[in-house]
Amino acid sequence: MSTQTPVLIIAEAGVNHNGDLDQAKALIDAAADAGADLVKFQTFSADKIVSRIAQKASYQQKNTGTEDTSQYAMLKQLELSVDMHHELMQYCKEKGIAFFSTAFDTEGIDFLHQLGFERFKVPSGEITNYPYLKRLAELKLPVILSTGMADLGEIEDALQVLTSEGLDRSAITVLHCNTEYPTPMQDVNLKAMLTIQRAFGVQVGYSDHTLGIEVPIAAVALGATVIEKHFTLDRKMPGPDHRASLEPEELKAMVKAIRNIELAVGGHGKKEPSDSEVQNKAVVRKSLHAQILINENEVISEKHLIPLRPGHGISPMDWKRVVGRKASHTIQEGQLIQWTDLK
């Protein structure tokens, strides 16, 4: 049985609550029912993260389906108030799932710290935000760093800020990520996760924006220790992220598959019969039998032998050791041959 740490599964509710507290609670229900470890929201004030003239990303414009191109107006409707944070944290506690959120500025980091957060998540857009990274490092708490849109040099720079300000590298998990919603399969480049691991000697994971569940499952098979995946109550809902999100039953299937893959790749690595298959050896392997009658004292030749199931007699690999021996007594056609049958 493996003793490795289980994969941390983050169910990313993000802004799929559409600013509605009841919808946010329904998302928590779905994440808890699926068996995710954390349900993650986003902590921001539109006034602090985007200017009034900033335009929506192309995927946001497409997914919101409105003529309004203002990113500020969109985000303003998706803010969670201080009171909503407290209410959602309490609701998570009641449902047995950990509340998590991503901050987008230093004030948000301090607010989440006051809420008692034990780890922090750097969204891809903040990987080049020096004050943000510096503040996180000063807290000396584990950091999950998303790397969408980044190259190795930018990842190295971010890690340098975090470690130079006092955060131990062992406390950092770097997530490979592509920030197109949804990510085309040909752009996933999952091997980049392993490149990050080799380049920086850090724990790695994967933040997924593809349609479906197969890519995060593959990431776990490759060694991801953290998986983050957007989910929604209904992909048809209006909003920037719903169309690239899993629905509740899909989220549940992903979690189940990841837990199965954990077991499958978490063995000791030795190639030997497992406890469950030892019983099958005698059933499916073969042993030497008499193909024709063998008389007492007759010298056994190849014509006398045939490998047949079951396999609890002499292995066919001992063929040459048997040929040339004499039978110690008469061996009937079809009889399984034991060493005691030979002189």
C-beta separation of 219 from 208 below 8 A = yes
Q: How far apart are CA 166 and CA 159, in angstroms?
A: 11
Domain at 84, CATH number: 3.20.20.70
Whether residues 245 and 331 fall in one domain? no
pLDDT tens digits, residue range 197-233?
999 999 999 999 999 999 999 999 999 999 999 999 9
Domain membership of residue 110 (yes or no) is yes
Q: Is the pLDDT of residue 322 over 90?
A: yes
85 and 192 in a single domain? The answer is: yes
- Is 118 domain-assigned? yes
Question: Which segment, 42-46, 56-60, 226-230, is predicted with the most confidence on average?
Answer: 226-230
In terms of domains, do 35 and 127 share one? yes
Torsion angle, alpha carbons of 141, 81, 179, 4, to 10: 40
Nearest-angstrom CA–CA distance, 289 and 316? 9
2 inside domain: no
Residue 251 sits in the same domain as residue 315: no
pLDDT band at 56 (very low <50, low <70, confident <90, very high): low
Domain boundary among 265, 290, 317: 265
Provide the CATH number for the domain around residue 333. 3.90.1210.10
Same domain, 155 and 59: yes
Give the separation between CA 147 and CA 151, rounded to whole angstroms.
8
Q: Is the domain of 243 the same as that of 292? A: no
Q: Let me know if residue 270 belongs to a domain.
A: no
Q: pLDDT tens-digit profile of 115-149?
A: 999 999 999 999 999 999 999 999 999 999 999 99
Count other C-beta atoms under 10 Å from residue 332's C-beta: 10
pLDDT tens sequence across 148-163 = 999 999 999 999 999 9
End residue of a domain, out of 205, 230, 265: 265
CA dist 244 and 63 (Å) reads 9
To 5 degrees, how large is the angle CA 178–CA 40–CA 62?
Answer: 50
pLDDT of residue 2: 45
Q: Do 238 and 65 form a contact (C-beta atoms < 8 A)?
A: yes
Q: What are the phi and psi torsion angles at 54 (to 5°)?
A: -65, 135
Q: Given this model, what pLDDT does residue 61 score?
A: 66
* 3 assigned to some structural domain: no
325 shares a domain with 245: no
CA–CA–CA angle 262, 263, 269 (5° rounding): 100
Longest dimension (CA), the chain: 101
Residue 273 maps to a domain: no
Residue 50: its pLDDT value, please?
82
What pLDDT is attached to residue 68? Answer: 60
Q: End of a domain among 220, 239, 265?
A: 265
Residues 32, 95: one domain? Answer: yes
pLDDT at 63: 59
Count of domains forming the chain = 2
Predicted local distance difference test score (pLDDT) of residue 92: 98
| CA distances in angstroms from 72 to 49, 64, 68, 78, 101, listed in the order given | 9, 13, 10, 10, 20
What are the tens digits of pLDDT across the range 234-278? 999 988 889 999 999 999 999 999 999 999 998 899 999 999 999
Are residue 101 and residue 234 in the same domain, yes or no?
yes
Please tell me whether residues 241 and 288 are part of one structural domain.
no
| Residue 175 and residue 322 in one domain | no
Q: Report if residue 272 sits inside a domain.
A: no
Residue 178 has pLDDT above 70, yes or no: yes
Residues 66-92 have pLDDT tens digits of 656 678 888 888 999 999 999 999 999
Res 337 pLDDT > 70 = yes
Residue 8 has pLDDT above 50, yes or no: yes
Q: Report residue 60's pLDDT band, with 50, 70 and 90 as the boundaries.
A: low
> Quick check: 55 pLDDT over 90?
no
Q: What is the mean pLDDT of residues 31-48?
A: 94
Enclosing domain of residue 337: 281-341
pLDDT tens sequence across 301-318: 999 999 999 999 999 999
Q: Is residue 255, in this structure, part of any structural domain at all?
A: yes
Between CA 96 and CA 29 the distance in angstroms is: 10
Confidence of residue 46 (pLDDT cuts 50, 70, 90): confident
Query: Is residue 4 predicted with pLDDT exceeding 80?
Result: no
Distances (CA, A) of 330 to 29, 31, 53, 293, 327: 73, 70, 98, 8, 7
Mean of pLDDT over the chain? 94
For residues 159 and 114, membership in a common domain is answered with yes
